[in-house]
Amino acid sequence: SHAGGGTVAFPSGTFRVTSWLYPAGNVSIVGIPGETILFMPAQPTGCFFFYGYELENVSIEGLTLRANSNTDNVSGIAMHGAINCRVQNVRFENLDYGMKLGSGPVASGWLIENLTARNCKLAIFALDMTDSTFIGLDIAGCGFTGSETGHCIYLARGCRRLVFKNLNLTSPSS
């Protein structure tokens, strides 16, 4: 784990991100909901805005993570084996994965609240995740993209004691 920590605050505006960002533990990344947009152009291979491994106490709040198309190899947040983290008031637009949680060491103690996803191939993927809560998910237009099939929420092996409240899952318009 990392000592220290702190807050990275983004003001209102659109910020171009061209490579993976690696938050440290005990850090809050905070924007203004609906006003702080991180945009990533198309990538040659899969790329996440935020990636972390075995982190604790990371908070991502008030950001819109956006790509031009869900075929641009751009994904939102990947946290593997992370503990006691929060994603609140975040919006995913046109992403491959919105969030990819778990995989490897067990992730636990998450709070995902007021998450909106539009036109993502797979809004939430969870694997090896326990004791976490998802509240106020509004996921629309996710899943099918051309001939490919995706999911609003995909729970893979090792998911236990996950609580989902106040979900609005809407299929893609045909």
* Whether the predicted pLDDT of 168 surpasses 60: yes
Cβ count near 58 (within 10 Å): 24
Mean pLDDT computed over every residue of the chain: 91
Q: Residue 44: which region, alpha, beta or left (left: phi > 0; alpha: psi -120 to 50)? A: alpha
Q: What is the mean pLDDT of residues 95-110?
A: 91
Are the C-beta atoms of 143 and 150 separated by less than 8 Å? yes
State the pLDDT confidence band at 170, using cuts at 50, 70 and 90.
confident
Q: What is the pTM of this model?
A: 0.92
Q: Rounded CA gap, 49 and 91, in Å? A: 13
Judge whether 164 and 134 are in contact, CB under 8 Å: yes
Confidence of residue 102 (pLDDT cuts 50, 70, 90): confident
Q: How far apart are CA 14 and CA 32, in angstroms?
A: 11
Backbone angles phi, psi at 13, to 5 degrees: 140, 175
CB 89 within 8 A of CB 114: yes
- pLDDT score recorded for residue 130: 95
pLDDT for res 173? 57
What contacts 139, CB < 8 A, 6 or more positions away? 115, 116, 117, 120, 123, 124, 152, 153, 167, 168, 169, 170
